[in-house]
Amino acid sequence: MTKHMDYTISPYPIVIIDPKVDASRLKLKTIRVGQVGHLPGRTLFRSEVVFEQWAIVYIVSGSGTYMENGGKMQQVREGSLFFFRPGFTYNFGPAPGGSWDEYYINFSGTRIAEWLESGLIAGGIVFQAEGVKGLQEVFEAVLGQMEGGAPEDADRAALGLERMLLECSFIIEEKNRPSQVDPMPQIREDLNFCVYGTMDLHQIAAKHHISMSTLRRLVRRSSGYPLQEYIHRLKMAEAKHLLLNTSLQVKEISGLLHYSDPFYFSRLFKKYMGISPLLCRNNI
């Protein structure tokens, strides 16, 4: 496996492998492994970085920090696992004078939507994956498969990545599941921020160490409504409050609640409130 020196990243030889296979030659069309790498003794800290693809990062040893989109600065240590999402801004790396041993795999494809839905991947949070056996070996295997440039090995790398994500999701969810604690009060509080904000639902699920399917199930069991309808109902209840207690126009209220189309907002309001916004304001 080719190693080279880049003293801006690490004082030790590093491995960075770019894809060598035309995507049209792959049998697995829905997921493709991109650049992969191993950065032992990484010293470089990066600030305000935006990536074009998803990536999974595994820290074998060392420590540092990770922050997504100006959010909470999270501690990274041995056994940490985290993701980069395309279009998001990241600050990450070891502390000044420190280092960590890092593996990473970039990936893209339509299958990512299913992985998000099932909770195999999630951005904005650092997980601990010490319980996943052979994790470093999986990364090494993907590096070796991508190094050769054979289409079948690139397909094997994609399958290996999916199996690894699946195993990690089992361990992480089980390890971080609060015992005998009802997560719904905190979940409801987080969802309330969706009324005026644009909080990522996948980030809410990741925060509580549950999959998106579990989040949907918990909300439906608690409220009787599907997740998206529950959020719409929260927004419509707030819209009614604003109509009755402020002089804001319907278009302004629609914008405040992050509905770009006032007509769509009005249809939703009538659907859930049983009356149009204007009639509600007139208290008819």
What digits encode the pLDDT tens for the residues 49-74? 999 999 999 999 999 999 999 989 99
Residue percentage of the chain with pLDDT more than 90:
64
In this chain, the answer to whether the domains covering 4-176 and 178-284 adopt an identical fold is no
What digits encode the pLDDT tens for the residues 178-236? 555 678 888 998 898 888 876 688 888 888 888 888 899 899 988 999 999 999 999 99
| Residue spans per domain, the chain | 4-176, 178-284
pLDDT value at 174 more than 70: no
Q: Which CATH superfamily is domain 4-176 in?
A: Regulatory protein AraC (2.60.120.280)
Q: Which fold has domain 178-284?
A: Arc Repressor Mutant, subunit A (1.10.10)
Contact of 91 with 47, CB cutoff 8 Å: yes
Contact of 107 with 31, CB cutoff 8 Å: yes
What digits encode the pLDDT tens for the residues 232-265? 999 999 999 999 999 999 999 999 999 999 999 9
C-alpha span between 175 and 279 (Å, rounded): 51
Q: Which residues contact 184 (CB under 8 A, 6 or more apart)?
A: 218, 219, 222
Judged by DSSP in three states, 119 sits in: coil
Contact of 55 with 83, CB cutoff 8 Å: yes
pLDDT for res 107 = 97
